[in-house]
Amino acid sequence: MKIWKQEFTLEGLDNMSANTLVDTFDIKFTEFGDDYLIAEMPVTHKNVQPMRILHGGASVALAETVGSIASVLCLKDPVSFHPVGLDINANHLRSVREGGRVAAKVTPIHIGKKTHVWHIDIRDENDKLICVSRLTIIILKTRH
């Protein structure tokens, strides 16, 4: 079942994120289907910890990015309402060394009028599970 209420392109999603943390971490949207969205991120000096492995906070930033954008795409009226992260958790299962690449796939757990709950799997280039995250979004009325 198609969950998206907005028409979009991957290039448009990337352009929307210009000059943000998403841009800083080189996160790019790469694929979508009727009920999922995928974004990739290279593991570089911008998002590693001193041991030269992917920083857990960067994994969380990637997870929140795909989940938040998914929520925007589920809104019928993204001008009058906007999503805000309410809670996120992450279980870091494996490390990825600098020079690698990770991909986050977001799928819905719950899409309500006031809250969205998303499941995000982050995998490395060998399809090994790196991080599992759950993101809860609250939908707020935009103040004009």
Give the predicted TM-score (pTM) of the model.
0.96
Nearest to 41 by CA among 32, 54, 52: 54
Catalytic-labelled residue, pool 7, 40, 64, 98: 64
Name residues whose C-beta falls within 8 Å of residue 59's C-beta, 6 or more positions apart in sequence: 90, 92, 102, 122, 130, 131, 133
Q: Is 11 a catalytic site residue?
A: no
Q: Residue ranges of the domains in the chain?
A: 10-141
The pLDDT value given to residue 108: 98
The pLDDT value given to residue 73: 98
The pLDDT value given to residue 144: 76
Q: What is the pLDDT of residues 86-99, one digit of tens each?
A: 999 999 999 999 99
Architecture of the domain defined by 10-141: Roll (3.10)
Q: What percent of the chain has pLDDT over 90?
A: 97
The pLDDT value given to residue 90: 98
